[in-house]
Amino acid sequence: MPLFAERELKLSKDYREDDGIVYENEENDGKLSFDEFKAYFTDGVLNAEEMHELFRTIDSNNTDNLNIEEICQYFSQHLGEYENVLAALEDLNISILKAMDKTKKDYQDSCNLEQFVTRFLLKETVNQLQSLQNSLECAMETTEEQTRQERQGPVKPEILSINWSGKRSSRRLQRTSSLSPNNTNFSILNSGMVLPV
C-alpha cells in the first residue's frame, strides 16, 4: 500500500495549508473527527450529507473518528489504475531525493560546465513535474466541473466543454515544450545534439 494515506493523515494531524487556509487537528491525536475530515476532504462537490455518509463508511470501527488504518483500508479498495501512478510517484520521489543529495554533495566542487549541466537538468526536471501537475490540475478541474453541472440537471453537451483562458493555455503549452525523450513537439534529446557531461 503506498504511503499516501499516511502522509495525508500526518498532514491533517499537524497542519494543512490549502488556498491560504490552515486546518489543524484540534486534538493533535492523529485521528480525524467529522469536522476535521470535512475541512480536509471537502471538494465542493459532495454536500454535507454525502460527506457525512462517506465519513461513516470509512469509519469501520464506528468510533466517530478516523484513524490511518481506516483511511488506508477505504482508499486502497478504490485505487484502480492510480495504484500504479502512486507507486511510480513514490519511486520518482526517491529518485529525485537521491539526485538532490548527490547534487548537494558534488555541485560545489564541480567545474563550471558540470554546474551548468546540473542546473539545466534541475530546470528540466522542474518543467517535467510542472507539466504533469498542470495535466492533473486540468483533469481535476474538468471532473469537478462536469460533476457540478451534472448535479444541476441535464445540460447541453457543449456547456460541458471548458474554455481555458489564453494565459493558462499558453503557460501549459510553454511548460509541455520540454526536453523529454517522449516529447515529439520539441526535444534537444531527440535532435541528435550531444550534450557534454
The pTM of the full predicted model, rounded to 2 decimals, is 0.56
Bridging pattern class, strands 16-18 and 21-23: antiparallel
Determine whether 178 is exposed, middle or buried from the number of CB atoms within 10 Å of its CB (0-12, 13-18, 19+): buried
pLDDT of residue 31: 86
pLDDT tens digit sequence for 114-135: 999 999 999 999 999 999 999 9
pLDDT of residue 70: 93
- Would you place residue 14 in the very low, low, confident or very high pLDDT band (cuts 50, 70, 90)? very low
pLDDT of residue 154: 61
User: Domains of the chain (ranges plus CATH)?
Assistant: 4-76 (1.10.238.10), 104-197 (no CATH)
**CB proximity list for 58: less than 8 A, separation 6 or greater:** 66, 70, 71, 74
Scored b (16 or more CB within 10 A) or e, 16-34 reads beeeeeebebeeeeebbbb
pLDDT tens digit sequence for 172-194: 444 444 444 444 443 344 444 34
